Structure 1
Amino acid sequence: MTHAQVEVLLPKAVVPGSTMDVGVRFTIEKDWHLYWNGQNDSGTPIEIELRMPAGFKAKQTLWPAPERLVEPGGILNHIYEREVILIVPVEVAKDANVGPAEIAVESKWLACKEACVPESGGAKATLKVDAVPAAHAALYVHEAVAKVRAALPIELAKDDPRVKASIDGRRATIQAPDAREIAFMPGSDCTPVKTLAERGVARSDKLEIELAEGPNTIRISGIVRVVNLEGVRAYYHIDTYAGARPESGQDRP
């Protein structure tokens, strides 16, 4: 028996020419965890593959914000416990066949507690492709998936005052006004950060991080967790760079 169970979450219906959110839910055994798709010192991220009818096209997977886990020896991983729902937006072609449509997922993941176990699993579910939109909009969303989408890290415009990131040489500064704590979780395409386990969290409105030596282009990309003065958490996605514009990386967290 695996330490995580996978499930496909679908709306009840969809119409040709629209985009829907497919949720892939992992229910994780108590005290075990799975891994985010950003930078981890030891864990490997969840992998998912959808199998869908002709006319259905998956877009980039959306990942909820993880939690930091610092283990003995300064090992830092970014994890999910108890439950996580990954979201895959799916485009439905205008000429998609009307009627029942089955969507299946095959997945691999690394489940860890005191030791780690590579695991895999799959699931499937069916929805209806309607010829014309129904009167009830609730048919076209899954409630649990909609809640996760609403809580995804906020994409920031360049001049958004809520979080500012700047680069000076091999040092980066992340600032958030009225924050009492800032944490940075680097994405897979972020320039590696030195001693992130110890210095990836600041109990103030400013976090300074030192970057490892590497290419001339420096990229600070990932999730910033901000705790404000009232103790409320918010998550933001940042992506800034110095040097030549980098190419797009893996699925964005």
Structure 2
Amino acid sequence: MSQCGKRTERMQSVIKRAIGALGLVVVASTTAAEAQPMGGEAHLSIESTTDLSSMHAGETGLLAIDIIVQEGWHTYWPGISDTGYGISFDIDTPDSVELKDPIWPSPERYLQRGGILDHTYEGTQTVLVPFVIRENTPDSVVVFTIKANYLVCDQVCLPGKGSASTSLHVVDDASEQVQTSRYDELRAQLEQRPQAFNAKDAAVRLQWISKAAAIMFRDATRIEFYPDNECSELESVIEDGQAEGNRLEVRFTESENKVLSGRLRVTTPEGVVHYDINEHAL
């Protein structure tokens, strides 16, 4: 069977399992869905702020986007899930602002009946977006406008859109930078951001096998893996996405051109460390 055929067959299998698992839920929730006058906006909102309210040109700041999910509901991280699509943001800024890559919090595994696995966010989660005010930017007000697109689910799944905005002042070097009330919190979160996975680290080992990859962390007691959209197709994230101990083996559906890409959550006796991994088989 061709690779395309295998992918189609697997997708059909996932869809059938999703219908089987979710169909019962939808039937049981028809009355609630019909009574729901709004979409996802009733169950998820976004808010935004920055770590500085006044800052100098040439300096780096943090834009924080809070995803606030109603209790009992969940939304999806921007990686691979069996159902649902990841929350996304469109951030509009003036040309004086250079946005860096967003720093997404790690999701949780959400396993449903029928063998459906999603990677989700619940409660309040904060996405950090580092930015730089370009050199020689004159005194001015900088406005960040954020638009969100998402799916939020409980017994039913509802699409939604949201928006938020925040601003700061660019001041001359003779003026002091001013911190917001969340400065310490956001800077602490930045310090705990995921590290780049380094296969050459002495405490780490990455081994490519015919149709698999094995990751070992010397002091780990548990390893979890959340694949992103660049990851090659996996045999079973349910079975391979978590492991007790210091070794995790992930199986691929194909043996050629394997890419292991996503987020790792590694538990050690000292605490939890997160890694972003994007490794290609040689």
Q: So what's the TM-score if we normalise by structure 1?
A: 0.87
- What is the distance in 1 between the residues matched to 2:204 and 2:175? 41
Q: Confirm or deny that 1:70 pairs with 2:150.
A: no
Contact 1:12 1:141 in 2 (8 A): no
Question: How high is the sequence identity, in percent, across the aligned residues?
Answer: 25
Alpha carbons of 1:95 and 1:238: their partners in 2 closer, same or farther (altered >3 Å)? same
SS at match of 1:61: coil
1:13-24 alignment runs, 5 A limit: 13-24=54-65
- Aligned twin of 2:257: 217
- What is the distance in 2 between the residues matched to 1:90 and 1:136? 15
Contact 1:21 1:141 in 2 (8 A): no
SS at match of 1:179: coil
- Aligned twin of 1:190: 231
Q: Which amino acid aligns with 1:213?
A: E
- Aligned twin of 1:250: none
1:130-145 alignment runs, 5 A limit: 130-132=171-173, 134-135=175-176, 138=179, 142-145=183-186
Match of 2:279 among 229, 240, 253: 240
- What is the distance in 1 between the residues matched to 2:84 and 2:204? 28
- Aligned twin of 2:10: none
- Aligned twin of 1:6: 46
1:1-253 alignment runs, 5 A limit: 1-10=41-50, 11-132=52-173, 134-135=175-176, 138=179, 142-213=183-254, 216-228=256-268, 230=269, 232-243=271-282
Contact 2:55 2:176 in 1 (8 A): no
Alpha carbons of 1:131 and 1:139: their partners in 2 closer, same or farther (altered >3 Å)? farther
SS at match of 2:230: coil
SS at match of 2:226: strand
Contact 1:74 1:198 in 2 (8 A): no
Structure 1 residue runs without a partner (length 5+): 244-253
Q: Which amino acid aligns with 2:223?
A: I
Q: Specify which structure has the higher proportion of helix.
A: 2
- What is the distance in 2 between the residues matched to 1:172 and 1:103? 41
Q: Which amino acid aligns with 1:238?
A: I
- What is the distance in 2 between the residues matched to 1:165 and 1:112? 36
Q: Please say which structure displays the higher CA radius of gyration.
A: 2
- What is the distance in 1 between the residues matched to 2:131 and 2:181? 12
- What is the distance in 1 between the residues matched to 2:202 and 2:85? 34
Q: Return the offset for 1:225.
A: 1.4
Alpha carbons of 1:137 and 1:98: their partners in 2 closer, same or farther (altered >3 Å)? closer
Q: Which amino acid aligns with 1:223?
A: R
Q: Return the offset for 1:127.
A: 0.9
Contact 2:54 2:179 in 1 (8 A): no
Q: Deviation digits for residues 71-116 of structure 1, max 9, x if unmatched?
A: 1111111111101111222222223231322211111111111221
Q: Return the offset for 1:235.
A: 1.4
CA RMSD in angstroms comes to: 2.2
- What is the distance in 2 between the residues matched to 1:75 and 1:134? 55
Q: Which amino acid aligns with 2:114?
A: G
- What is the distance in 2 between the residues matched to 1:143 and 1:122? 25
**Which fold has the larger relative contact order, with Cα–Cα distance below 8 Å and residues 6 or more apart in sequence?**
1
Contact 1:154 1:236 in 2 (8 A): yes
Q: So what's the TM-score if we normalise by structure 2?
A: 0.78
